[in-house]
Amino acid sequence: MTDIPSPELPKAYDPSQVEEKWYKFWMEQGYFKPAIDRNKKPFVIIMPPPNVTGELHLGHALTATLEDIMIRWHRMKGDPALWLPGVDHAGIAAQVVVERMLAKEKKTKYDLGREAFTRRMWEWANSCRDTIRKQHMKLGASCDWDREVFTLDEGPSLAVRTTFKNLYDKGLIYRGERIINWCPRCHTAISDLEVDHKDLAGHLWHIKYPLADDPTRFVTVATTRPETMLGDVAVAVHPDDERYRDLVGRTLLLPLVDREIPIVADSVVDMTFGTGAVKTTPAHDPTDFDIAQRHNLPLLNIFNDDATLNKNAGRFAGMDRYAARKVIAEELARMGLLALVQDYSHSVGHCQRCATVTEPLASRQWFVKMEGLAKPAIEAVTSGRIKILPERFIKQYLNWMENIRDWCISRQLWWGHRIPVWYCRSCGEVVVSVDFPEACTGCRSTDIEQDPDVLDTWFSSGLWPHSTLGWPQQTADLEYFYPTAVMETGYDILTFWVSRMITMGLENTGKIPFDTVYLHGLIRDEKGEKMSKVKGNVLNPLALIDKFGTDALRFGITTGNSPGNDIKLSENRLEAGRNFANKLHNAGRFVIAALTKAEGVPPVYPRDLPAEDRWILSRLSRTISQVAAYMEDFQFGEAERTVHDFIWGEFCDWYIELAKIRLQAGTLPSPLPVLLKVLDESLRLLHPFMPFVTEELWQHLRKYLTNPPASIMVAPYPKADEAAVDAAAEAFVEGLIEAVRAIRNVRAEHKVEAGRWIAAEIHAGEQKAPLDCYKAAIETLARVRPFEIIADRFVGESDTARIVLVLKDLEVVLPLSGMIDQEAESRRQATELAETESQVARLSAMLGNPDFLAKAPPQVVAKEKAKLEALEDKLKRLKS
């Protein structure tokens, strides 16, 4: 393999000059394609397939980033890591998009016909797939693109037909009349997931229904939709409601249509709602449907597919539902049957795709019996075989699965998996087949017609983890890579998608589809509001990449975030990501330049190293340990924050600055070996999170490493070196940093010019001898001169104005003259003294409390005692 030429690093980091180059390199080297190794357990993620409805949004960017972090980490750990990409045909969502495009051409799908419309859909889908693939590549997604799958590909299509046939043969799929969500614009049933519920201001109409045998007496019902009264088949009351007990079994005369309907008693009725009597319209309400089933009541559908009223509505037939509502309310009022109209806010379902108000509608559809299928899926989670992260979502999952209803899987669309059912026109036989049947299985007639409906998109995506790997064929991929490791997706589709993947995976393969469900939160704007085009707060990920770079975007949407928590995203977070990339670039540029000037890089000898070398190596080891723990616990945001804090706050801000002083002075031993080691391992630690800047810098660093691989993405992920942990070096250097930082803070508080030198003393006690070696470093870093390190503890002199900073092990003394407001400094010292006294009093009281000492773990008590001792020592020195 020929290495990519690495010219000298530019002064500023420019993502546009780096990202495409390295992604192309990774693709050419085949790093994204895992080899099957029977001696190793693979790590597998099947990508949640984006819909072919346009470009990727920030939610997709978050999904891709989190999954890429996991895949890159496991790849660097040496695991065969497969990230299998895919795209969803998106059923109704994609069809709506294309229908809107046709509307701009003043056409409908009916103008084209089903065959031509389907061709148009394929053109759109293929265009979207190409766009989505390129956008994922721009995000740095290290997917195995050779294995990319589309839900309408032949493999997944075979899996869909096979599953339908198997479930049908088991009696688990049936055709029947049930309440579904109907979209009058899309003319199809839609799933619960595709219904957005919005609170709307409306009215509650109280309508008087006269008794059939005594028109002078009435039962008053309350409804938010008076037009549906035309489909009433009963009025229901609670059996314990004394107001209506004597009326149960009698009949009412339905106003406007003069149809007699019974009064039935059902315990589902809420006696506190309205009048306690509810109109029962089983064809247009799920609760009413259940009442009708229990009381053997008929279904009376009053709506056409477009939500106009049909012939069952009598003289109101042909009217729009809202126009009918107005007319019916007016007529009831004229007849004296409208008892009361109240303002009333209630939740109304809207089609997620076109925003049309949906109608609950009794419709003849295909359903899956879910109760029996749900039980193994419940057990898989309750037994711990499948982990759901965060665990708080387990309750939501179980609540959904334990109260599951039969699943309506048919859709009245032209785009999707056609239901594999054929009807014989000759004998009426229903033929369910995986393959297209040549003739009726009953009478052998060839006059058969396929069901016109398609399957719910969630039916095919419910098979996703195993259908993408070749099921129902027994492929090598299915044998090796299934079950998968992690299903990472948003918490908002836990019940609608994740639950179905678990259910169908267990049904089809007998195995769980994945070990872990990782649920991320939603990306919101900086105020915590949901992003929408209407609000104008939508951020386009590609535009953000162009402005800040891919690494900065990945950093901004993941750093510090925990599973299941929503993310407030602002450009400030992205600027922080860009600044970090620049900081890292500058640090790498310094180290690489220093290595280039050196004749050779000597090995690291920990016993011979100065304190700051031992400190940074110790901190590196601890950081690696902490990052490993976070990664294993799926706390990727915290892992990334930990790496960021180490690189920026310890390596760049302190170690490199100390190393510069040694390099300029030619002090031995040289810091170069440590600079090389820490930069190398820091880049590898950070690579899963920010792949491009780390690859760019690491490629320049490779020539100084021993037998490095060709890319950082296949370099081993760092492991902690416990032998490098040096608590004494950490304590010493942290004390040195505390002193420099304290002086810098005073300078900043009192607006001392950056280039101005100020006098200082450090009273170091036993720390004097080791600190003497760092006198020049403290002078340079804190801009102090003259500067002395004194062995004695400081004793204040009342006739000399000065600032005294009491630190953990040191006192820093800075003359006040010409630098600060002396009165303000006195107030500061008084405040610090009072705060320290308060902390000492609080801790003393807590440690003097027998209940605390009895209940608190020993390590907590020891920690608090040590804290008290340190504060008492500080208080003593403050008072002096």
Binding site membership for ATP: which residues?
533
Three-state DSSP state, 857? coil
93 within 8 A of 138, measured Cβ to Cβ: no
**Max Cα–Cα distance, the chain, nearest Å:** 116
Short-list 691, 605, 847, CA closest to 65: 691
Cα separation, 421 vs 452, whole angstroms: 9
Residues in the annotated binding site: 533
363 within 8 A of 412, measured Cβ to Cβ: no
Cα separation, 746 vs 629, whole angstroms: 37
Q: For 258, left (φ over 0), alpha (ψ -120 to 50), or beta?
A: left
Short-list 690, 685, 658, CA closest to 674: 658
Q: Which residues contact 276 (CB under 8 A, 6 or more apart)?
A: 237, 238, 241, 243, 244, 269, 270
Short-list 654, 611, 619, CA closest to 725: 619
Output the CA–CA distances (angstroms, integers) from residue 740 to 116, 253, 611, 735, in the order listed. 74, 90, 16, 9
Three-state DSSP state, 672? helix
Q: How many helices (H) and strands (E) does the chain have?
A: 28, 29
Give 203-255 as a DSSP string. Answer: EEEEEEEEETTEEEEEEEEEES-GGGGGG--EEEE-TT-TTTGGGTT-EEEET
Cα separation, 230 vs 245, whole angstroms: 25
Short-list 405, 452, 459, 432, CA closest to 188: 452
Going by the DSSP 8-state scheme, the letter that residue 765 receives in this structure is G
Which H or E run includes 182?
strand 173-183
Q: Which residues contact 379 (CB under 8 A, 6 or more apart)?
A: none
